[in-house]
Amino acid sequence: MREILGRRLQRLRDRWKTPRAASRAASAAAEAAGRSPLDEALRCATLLRWPVLPGVGRAGADSARCACPDPDCVVPGAHPFDPGLLAATTDPKMVAWWWAKRPSAPLLLATGGTAPCAVSLPAAAAALAVVRLDAQGMRLGPIVATPTRWALLVAPYSLERLGELLYAKDHVPASLRFHGEGGYLLLPPSTASGGGQVCWEREPATGEGGLWLPDVEAVVDALVEASSGAPGGGSRLAY
């Protein structure tokens, strides 16, 4: 069993060991899926019933600068601005109108409420955590991947519930990010703020019971452990 887990972990590490390799893998996955931002936005809004909205985008096609008014924006082209986060909707007419005006706009999920929440962490640590959770027989939900970070989607949680959960921990690495009520998550086929394509490491799949999402308590221990064991103690936050 240990040998099998070691091989699986090495494959994941090899795939994501450099941002360039991760970007190529993600771009290939996006091309294979063949879905435009509008296609994916409509799928999320109508099939999954996730509230979505377009992100702000970049100042130009090849620009690293964000199109928002903040010249020092730390997440260029990967956050809400106009429309604001509260405008997120599952209405297909509104979604189609937004992307008709801005066909290449990033796709954002408004997390929390009745929508999924997420926990994100550096890619190498996330790959390790996913291997461990799979080995434990944990049923995971969708996983969003960028060259630097993965986000595991979980069932909606309140800030109070999350606070109680984290308070019980001796240490929570600063590299962990929690996307809950009032937050958002960049979805495929957008481009990550640091460059490289956003892709599905595990796509949303609906069955008889609808989309499966694990509780945050079920995954957070493995994510904290994996982040704590990351280079630098998992203290560096990479967007």
Map out the domains of the chain as residue ranges. Answer: 2-57+72-234
Q: Once rounded to an integer, what is the mean pLDDT over residues 139-166?
A: 93
pLDDT band at 20 (very low <50, low <70, confident <90, very high): very low
Beta bridge partners of 183: 111
**In degrees, to the nearest 5, what angle opens at C-alpha 44 toward C-alphas 40 and 49?**
165
Angle separating helix axes 2-16 and 123-135, nearest 10 degrees: 150
The per-residue pLDDT for 238 is 40
Give me the chain's average pLDDT, please: 82
Closest CA to 219 of 227, 231, 230, 211: 227
**In degrees, to the nearest 5, what angle opens at C-alpha 228 toward C-alphas 225 and 232?**
160
pLDDT in tens, 170-217: 888 888 899 999 999 999 999 887 778 999 999 998 776 678 999 999
pLDDT in tens, 78-99: 899 999 999 999 999 999 999 9
Residue 110 has pLDDT above 50, yes or no: yes
The per-residue pLDDT for 191 is 87
pLDDT band at 33 (very low <50, low <70, confident <90, very high): low
Positive or negative torsion for Cα 217, 43, 102, 92:
negative
The per-residue pLDDT for 90 is 97
